């Protein structure tokens, strides 16, 4: 443990843990600790470093990813021993099985087989039942918190677990369970449960097995008189992380809050509908609000079902539609650019047909589709381009409706699942043939891939149902739009090449777009255009979630890397090829100050977490106080321009210095870290460059020592 505790404190922890932990588990932990403390043990273990960190609550996916294969084997072995001991003593095994599920998933991720046995059978049953994760939550105790030790167990373990399948049609979120629900370990039980089943589920045509049930605070709460009460704000905040993790893991399609208290807890997952709690309906009846909102909910469920049915080609296509619907923002490159390939994909070929080239296959009666694959964050993203029959393309110059695009064309798309980057090379120079049952083929016949075009691309603006990209290939060039649009009474993905090639980021106002998406209850906005770093916004708050900042300079002695977050005057000043919009200096300053007093979050190479810390942040000075005031007021003024590492900066620029650990510094020196991403500052109000006041640039030249 990184934090030092007094001997008296640890003795108290040991005494309290003996009350709550099974004897065999308590004994195992004591045996693991004795060798490290210099004592004797008849059952000395070989890997004390592993078990020093182990309690069931510590066996979590994130920590399992950080241990070696050997240690993972030891964890699996110990879980089997604990499981056998608990069974023999007829003690609860739920948390052991939950932990074992995560260990098995990590082993499978690494390609390691899991031996059979009673524990494996229970884990497989749990996996099929799609139950919840281990019921422990992180908690850091200090010496001053000794009086709260008796509450630790209750704080860590939800008394009423999450129940329901992953990817449920609907999740119903309550505030907190009743004593009856806690006794049955099931949400919405008893008379309240009967009301929930009859008034809500039956009216929606749903079964309990189809929905996810969870509470914002998963334990019963009472007032001083022992009567049930609603959760307080601090109690909701305490369980907030647990609730978010549960919803992230289960990924329900539609979120329903039962009551205003439950709604207030769903800050990360805004509810689609807010219904009265079934307990309130049982007491006060339906004034018409329930019926009206259930009608809205039925419409949403129907739309979601229709959306899934639009995916043609079976479960794989449905999975691809679902993947885009849930994780589209994760697929797009945070660098704002990448490589692409466009392939013809022929399926259902017999032995003779798989020998034909692309032009010869156009003379057959087969259907054809194109695959546009684009490099992203952790693999490829893209769409299948539904080109129709071979005869629809054979008379075109390049034998492809997309390459031979003409105004008015309507070509349908289908999202693709994430793919490995090796697919960028498929069909390039030499076609690829896959046999029956292999990638891209049917179960009985072969498939063949031909690369028709390849090159680079840059991102424009992207929303959940509209993506703007700029392709730079031999045949595919310019601005293309992927749009989820209504056609023939239902919505479909389409590709368009508009005559107007102006990026959305230049023709649309950022604040207006965020406001529009907020009304549609969408979550993310990807804002970019060729030549600029993309910014990802949380639509609910208007804050930047991430912005890629290239490292411009580094201090090897202090292990600090520096970058320019925003320069109000662009890299080279107001030249025509610079940004076509301007961020007023006042806005830059407000963002810098808001960041320091707010999140101070920073990520490296867009990883979810990092040990790097922001240690410096400043806004470049103006030539004089008067120039600064004029810049803030939008009046003509002077600015300095100077070299900063590999970049050029101006007065008013916001710069950040990030201190790296030794391990991260090695990655930077090896070229594996080239940028960082500060997040959590408010969006900027852009102005057209034509509105920018007159600026006089004063060059600063560093003199040689």
The answer to whether residue 418 sits within a structural domain is: yes
Nearest to 508 by CA among 688, 308, 698: 688
Residues 502 and 627 in one domain: no
pLDDT at 193 over 90: no
| 331 and 462 fall within a common domain | yes
As a dihedral over the C-alpha atoms of residue 496, residue 501, residue 507, residue 512, rounded to 10 degrees, the angle is 20
**pLDDT at residue number 19:** 63
**Quick one: 72 and 172 in the same domain?**
no
pLDDT, one tens digit per residue, over 216-257 is 999 888 887 778 888 888 888 888 888 888 888 888 888 999
Task: Give the integer Cα–Cα distance in Å for 138 and 231.
Answer: 20
Q: How confident is the model at residue 353, as a pLDDT? A: 93
Does 289 share its domain with 330? no
- Identify the pLDDT of residue 134: 35
Which tens digit of pLDDT belongs to each residue from 379-431? 899 999 999 999 999 999 999 999 999 888 889 999 988 888 888 999 998 99
383 and 511 in a single domain? The answer is yes
Q: Are strands 254-258 and 273-275 parallel, antiparallel or unpaired?
A: parallel
How confident is the model over 287-300, as a mean pLDDT?
A: 84
What is the count of structural domains for the chain?
A: 4
pLDDT of residue 444: 86
Pick from 43-47, 167-171, 469-473 the range whose average pLDDT is largest: 469-473
- Residue 379: burial class (beta carbons within 10 Å; 0-12, 13-18, 19+): middle
Take residue 540 and report the two structure tokens written for it. Answer: 């609910």
Contact indicator for 354, 323 with CB cutoff of 8 Å: no
Residues 266 and 328 occupy one common structural domain: no
Which has the closest alpha carbon to 618: 541, 559, 553, 564?
564
- pLDDT value for 447: 92
Same domain assignment for residues 457 and 600: no
Q: Is the pLDDT of residue 97 over 70?
A: yes
Q: Mean pLDDT throughout 512-541?
A: 86
Over range 350-378, report the average pLDDT: 92
Mean pLDDT for 354-382 is: 92
CB 525 within 8 A of CB 539: yes
pLDDT at 572 over 70: no
pLDDT of amino acid 504:
94
Residue 542 lies in a domain: no
539 belongs to a structural domain: no
Which CATH number belongs to the domain containing residue 302 in this structure? 3.40.470.10
Note if the pTM is more than 0.85.
Answer: no
Three-state DSSP state, 558: coil
State the burial class of residue 9 (Cβ atoms within 10 Å of its Cβ: 0-12, 13-18, 19+): middle
What digits encode the pLDDT tens for the residues 527-561?
998 888 788 888 887 777 767 788 889 999 999 99
Mean pLDDT for the chain overall: 79
- 395 and 501 co-located in one domain: yes
Q: Given phi > 0 = left and psi -120 to 50 = alpha, else beta, which region is 285? A: left
Please indicate, yes or no, whether residues 352 and 484 belong to a single structural domain of this protein: yes
Of the residues 308, 336, 351, which one is the last residue of a structural domain?
Answer: 308
- pLDDT for residue 383: 94
Does 526 fall in a domain? no
The average pLDDT across 42-49 equals 37
pLDDT at 669 over 70: yes
Determine the pLDDT at residue 402.
Answer: 95
**Does the pLDDT value for residue 603 go beyond 80?**
no
In a domain? residue 60: yes
Ranges 45-59, 314-328, 335-349, 593-607: which has the least confidence:
45-59
Q: Which residues constitute the domain of residue 488? A: 315-519
The residue-averaged pLDDT of 623-627 equals: 93
- Of 129, 144, 170, the residue at which a domain comes to its end is 129
Instruction: Encode burial over 44-54: b for 16+ CB neighbours within 10 A, e otherwise.
Output: ebebbebbebb
Looking at residue 670, what DSSP letter applies? T
Asked if residue 111 and residue 165 are part of one domain, the reply reads no
- Decide which of 581 and 433 is more confident: 433
**Residue 54 belongs to some domain of the structure:** yes
* 510 & 552 share domain: no
CA gap 626, 692 in Å, rounded: 18
Share of the chain above pLDDT 90, in %: 28
- Rounded to whole angstroms, how far apart are CA atoms 503 and 206? 44
Residue for token pair 């408010």: 682
Q: Which pLDDT score, from 0 to 100, does residue 5 have?
A: 63
Tokens of 192: 């309240």
**Could you write out the three-class secondary structure of 123-177?**
HHHHHHHCCCCCCCCCCCCCHHHHHHHHHHHHHHCCCCCCECCCCCCEEEEECCC
Cα 65 to its chain centre, rounded Å, is 18
Q: Which of 308, 334, 361 lies at the terminal end of a domain, its last residue?
A: 308
pLDDT at 23: 56
Is there a single domain that holds both residue 572 and residue 676? yes
Categorize the per-residue pLDDT at 292 as very low, low, confident or very high, splitting at 50, 70 and 90. confident
């Amino acid at each position: 443990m990184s934090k030092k505790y007094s001997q008296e404190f640890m003795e108290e922890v040991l005494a309290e843990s003996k009350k709550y932990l099974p004897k065999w588990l308590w004994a195992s932990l004591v045996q693991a600790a004795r060798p490290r403390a210099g004592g004797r043990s008849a059952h000395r273990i070989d890997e004390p470093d592993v078990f020093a960190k182990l309690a069931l609550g510590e066996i979590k996916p994130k920590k399992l990813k950080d241990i070696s294969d050997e240690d993972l084997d030891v964890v699996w072995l110990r879980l089997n021993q604990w499981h056998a001991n608990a069974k023999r003593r007829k003690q609860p095994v739920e948390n052991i099985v939950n932990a074992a599920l995560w260990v098995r998933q990590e082993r499978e991720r690494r390609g390691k087989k899991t031996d059979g046995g009673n524990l494996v059978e229970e884990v497989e049953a749990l996996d099929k039942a799609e139950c919840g994760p281990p019921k422990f939550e992180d908690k850091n105790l200090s010496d001053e918190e000794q009086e709260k030790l008796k509450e630790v167990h209750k704080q860590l373990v939800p008394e009423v677990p999450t129940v329901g399948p992953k990817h449920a049609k609907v999740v119903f979120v309550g505030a907190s369970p009743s004593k009856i629900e806690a006794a049955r370990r099931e949400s919405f039980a008893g008379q309240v449960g009967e009301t929930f089943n009859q008034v809500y589920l039956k009216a929606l045509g749903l079964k309990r097995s189809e929905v996810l049930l969870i509470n914002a605070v998963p334990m019963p709460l009472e007032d001083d008189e022992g009567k049930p009460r609603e959760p307080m704000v601090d109690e909701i905040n305490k369980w907030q992380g647990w609730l978010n993790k549960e919803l992230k893991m289960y990924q329900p399609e539609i979120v329903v809050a039962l009551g205003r208290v439950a709604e207030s807890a769903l800050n990360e997952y805004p509810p689609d509908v807010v219904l009265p709690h079934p307990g309130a309906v049982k007491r006060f009846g339906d004034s018409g609000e329930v019926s009206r909102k259930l009608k809205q909910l039925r419409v949403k469920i129907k739309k979601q079902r229709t959306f899934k049915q639009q995916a043609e080609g079976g479960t794989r296509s449905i999975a691809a539609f679902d993947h885009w619907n849930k994780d589209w923002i994760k697929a797009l490159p945070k660098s704002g650019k990448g490589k692409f390939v466009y392939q013809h994909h022929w399926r259902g070929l017999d032995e003779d047909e798989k020998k034909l080239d692309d032009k010869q296959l156009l003379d057959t009666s087969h259907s054809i589709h194109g695959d546009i694959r684009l490099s992203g964050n952790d693999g490829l993203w893209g769409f299948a381009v539904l080109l129709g029959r071979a005869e629809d393309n054979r008379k075109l110059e390049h034998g492809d409706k997309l390459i031979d695009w003409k105004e008015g064309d309507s070509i349908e798309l289908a999202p693709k699942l994430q793919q490995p980057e090796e697919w960028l090379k498929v069909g390039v120079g030499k076609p690829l043939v896959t046999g029956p049952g292999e990638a891209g083929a049917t179960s009985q016949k072969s498939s063949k891939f031909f690369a028709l075009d390849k090159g680079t691309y840059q991102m424009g603006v992207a929303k959940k149902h509209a993506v703007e990209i700029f392709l730079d290939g031999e045949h595919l060039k310019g601005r293309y739009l992927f749009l989820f649009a209504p056609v023939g009474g239902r919505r479909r993905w389409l590709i368009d090449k508009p005559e107007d090639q102006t990026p959305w980021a230049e023709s649309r106002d950022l604040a207006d777009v965020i406001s529009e998406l907020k009304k549609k209850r969408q979550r993310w906005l990807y804002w970019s255009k060729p030549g600029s770093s993309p910014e990802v916004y949380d639509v609910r708050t208007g804050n930047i979630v991430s912005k890629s900042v290239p490292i411009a300079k580094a201090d090897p002695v202090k292990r600090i890397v520096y970058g320019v977050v925003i320069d109000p005057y662009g890299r080279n000043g107001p030249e025509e090829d610079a940004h076509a919009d301007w961020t007023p200096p006042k806005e830059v300053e407000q963002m810098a100050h808001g960041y320091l007093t707010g999140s101070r979050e920073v990520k490296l190479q867009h990883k979810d977490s990092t040990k790097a810390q922001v240690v410096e942040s400043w806004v470049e000075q103006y030539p004089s106080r008067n120039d600064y005031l004029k810049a803030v007021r939008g009046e003509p003024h002077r600015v300095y321009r100077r070299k900063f590492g590999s970049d050029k900066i101006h007065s008013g620029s916001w710069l950040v210095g990030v201190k790296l650990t030794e391990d991260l510094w090695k990655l930077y020196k090896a070229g594996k870290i080239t940028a960082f991403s500060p997040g959590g500052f408010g969006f900027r109000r852009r102005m057209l460059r034509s509105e920018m006041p007159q600026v006089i640039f004063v060059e600063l030249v560093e003199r040689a020592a």
